[in-house]
């Protein structure tokens, strides 16, 4: 009998961070301990087609010939817990999956949508649940929740893009009065800096709002922290999470934009970040508090902007952070004594822990009478 766990690693997807996901997933698939796990790579194309193939990453990178491979779906039927091949006239080859490791950054992967499908399918999965994923993804909602919990965040205002188009002068004045220049303009539900701009004047602000409006119905405008140090921290666990040592990013551009993150290779990561032990403790406590306020589980990377005077702001929380072997999330754990493949074991362990905890909860209620039959 095969006692190995079948791990479905899910990557790609309908996201502006599709390419980043392919690179993260390749590292995870490579590092999963094959004596413990049977790895099932599951790729999702940019169009949303699921394919399960050993070389799915390569196929998605080439982005052609996908139609020659069988199409799969995950059924929302909890009795199946399986991936089903739907290419033929009759669905076939139900492939049982024990646990899913979603490595899809951004929309339809990190925002609670796909987590909803895992819940329906009743399959344990790595990372935050539906709510934690959704609030972690939305920078407007997470800012509101963090503010209420007295966690320091940068000052920001938001409005609907559709309202801005109707009353641009009103919103431009509002930004100039309450936020001022320079400011950051963000589509609140994106990642990897896609759609984000730093605006130094009205002309740039207008262009930045239109760009962000291509990605989201909401627009977030934030006060720019002047020359911040960018400090990141890894957190893992469920009800009793733990925080890693901090790391620091020194971006190659004016801010840490898409090119500085992935393309030009000139940004520098300092691990661990050179900070005083007291400041590390304060940032760790803040990261852990935010993790529970936002209902995270499994893992998250919590990012901060640190001013020269020692004051820091929580910038954002990423529930599916970059996960290549040189990414900050695993590197910070490595610096804290947890190797990359050990980390994967732990994250899979947390997936089962949360699944089993949830299983203990009742999802039924037995009324004393069959009152509903009469109504
Ligand atoms: N309020 C701010 N002040 C200064 N820099 C910022 C601010 N907001 C964002 N940035 C810069 O922009 C980068 C991307 O913004 P972030 O909110 O982290 O979006 P993403 O989710 O796309 O990573 C940050 O890493 C930082 O370099
Ligand atoms: Mg960021």
Task: Write out the residue limits of the CATH 3.30.1490.20 domain(s) in the chain.
Answer: 155-223
Structural class in CATH, domain 5-125: alpha beta
Q: Is the CB of 262 under 6 A from ligand 1?
A: no
Give me the phi and psi of 60, to 5 degrees please.
Answer: -70, -35
Q: Is the CB of 305 under 6 A from ligand 1?
A: yes
Bridge partners (DSSP) listed for residue 83: 74, 95
Classify the C-alpha dihedral 344-348-351-357 as positive or negative.
negative
Side by side, the strands of the sheet bearing 92-96 are 92-96, 82-85, 71-74, 50-52, 37-44, 5-12, 99-102
Q: Is the CB of 225 under 6 A from ligand 1?
A: yes
Q: How far is the CA of 315 from the centre of ligand 1 (A)?
A: 7
* Pocket residue to mutate for ligand 1, from 135, 256, 318, most atoms within 8 A of Cβ: 256
Atom number in ligand 1 closest to CA 226: 4
Q: Is the CB of 190 under 6 A from ligand 1?
A: yes
Q: Which helix (H) or strand (E) holds 50?
A: strand 50-52
202 neighbors 180 (Cβ within 8 angstroms): no
Task: Write out the residue limits of the CATH 3.30.470.20 domain(s) in the chain.
Answer: 229-359
Q: Is the CB of 251 under 6 A from ligand 1?
A: yes
Atom number in ligand 1 closest to CA 195: 22
pTM (2 d.p.)? 0.95
15 neighbors 106 (Cβ within 8 angstroms): yes
Each residue's pLDDT, cut to its tens digit, for the chain (375 residues) gives 568 999 999 999 999 899 999 999 999 999 999 999 999 999 999 999 999 888 899 989 998 888 888 889 999 999 988 898 988 877 776 788 999 999 999 999 999 999 999 999 999 999 999 999 999 999 999 999 999 999 999 999 999 999 999 999 999 999 999 999 999 999 999 888 899 999 999 999 999 999 999 999 999 999 999 999 999 999 999 999 999 999 999 998 888 888 888 888 888 999 999 999 999 999 999 999 999 999 999 999 999 999 999 999 999 999 999 999 889 999 999 999 999 999 999 999 999 999 999 999 998 899 999 988 887
Q: How far is the CA of 191 from the centre of ligand 2 (A)?
A: 7
Unique residue bearing structure tokens 């947390």: 350
Residue nearest to atom 1 of ligand 1 (CA): 224
Q: Is the CB of 315 under 6 A from ligand 1?
A: yes
The CATH number of the domain covering residues in 229-359: 3.30.470.20
Please report which ligand is nearest the Cα atom of 250: 1
- What is the Cα–Cα distance from 103 to 171, expressed in whole angstroms? 37
* Pocket residue to mutate for ligand 1, from 15, 196, 257, most atoms within 8 A of Cβ: 196
Q: How far is the CA of 353 from the centre of ligand 2 (A)?
A: 28
The CATH number of the domain covering residues in 155-223: 3.30.1490.20
pLDDT at 335: 96
Classify the C-alpha dihedral 318-49-77-10 as positive or negative.
negative
- Secondary structure (3-state) at 257: coil
Residue nearest to atom 8 of ligand 1 (CA): 184
Q: How far is the CA of 304 from the centre of ligand 2 (A)?
A: 9
């Amino acid at each position: 009998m095969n006692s190995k766990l079948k791990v479905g690693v899910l990557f790609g997807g309908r996201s502006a961070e599709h390419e980043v996901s392919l690179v993260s997933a390749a590292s995870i698939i490579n590092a999963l301990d094959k004596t413990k796990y049977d790895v099932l790579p599951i790729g999702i194309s940019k169009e949303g087609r699921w394919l399960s193939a050993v070389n799915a990453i390569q196929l998605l990178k080439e982005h052609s010939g996908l139609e020659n491979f069988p199409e799969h779906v995950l059924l929302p039927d909890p009795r199946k817990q399986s991936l089903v091949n739907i290419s033929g006239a009759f669905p076939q080859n139900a492939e049982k999956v024990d646990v899913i490791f979603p490595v899809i950054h951004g929309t339809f992967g990190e925002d609670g949508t796909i987590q909803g499908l895992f819940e329906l399918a009743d399959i344990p999965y790595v990372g935050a649940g539906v709510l934690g994923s959704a609030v972690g993804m939305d920078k407007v909602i997470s800012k509101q929740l963090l503010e209420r919990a007295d966690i320091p965040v940068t000052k920001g205002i938001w409005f609907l893009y559709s309202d801005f188009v109707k009353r641009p002068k009103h919103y431009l004045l509002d930004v100039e009065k309450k936020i001022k220049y320079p400011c950051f303009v963000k589509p609140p539900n994106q990642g990897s800096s896609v759609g984000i701009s730093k605006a130094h004047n009205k002309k740039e602000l207008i262009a930045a709002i239109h760009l962000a409006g291509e990605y989201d119905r909401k627009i977030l405008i934030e006060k720019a922290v002047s020359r911040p140090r960018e400090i990141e921290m890894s957190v893992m666990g469920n009800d009793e999470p733990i925080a890693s040592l901090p790391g620091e990013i020194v971006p190659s551009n004016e801010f840490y934009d898409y090119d500085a993150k992935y393309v030009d290779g000139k940004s520098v990561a300092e691990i661990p970040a050179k900070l005083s032990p007291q400041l590390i403790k304060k940032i760790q406590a803040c990261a852990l508090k935010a993790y529970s306020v936002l209902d995270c589980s499994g893992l998250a990377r919590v990012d901060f902007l640190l001013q020269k005077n020692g004051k820091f702001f929580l910038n954002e929380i990423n529930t599916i952070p970059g996960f290549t072997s040189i990414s900050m999330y695993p590197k910070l754990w490595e610096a804290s004594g947890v190797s990359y493949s050990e980390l994967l074991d732990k994250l899979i362990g947390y997936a089962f822990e949360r699944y089993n905890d949830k299983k203990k909860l009742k999802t039924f209620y037995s009324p004393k009478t069959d009152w509903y039959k009469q109504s």
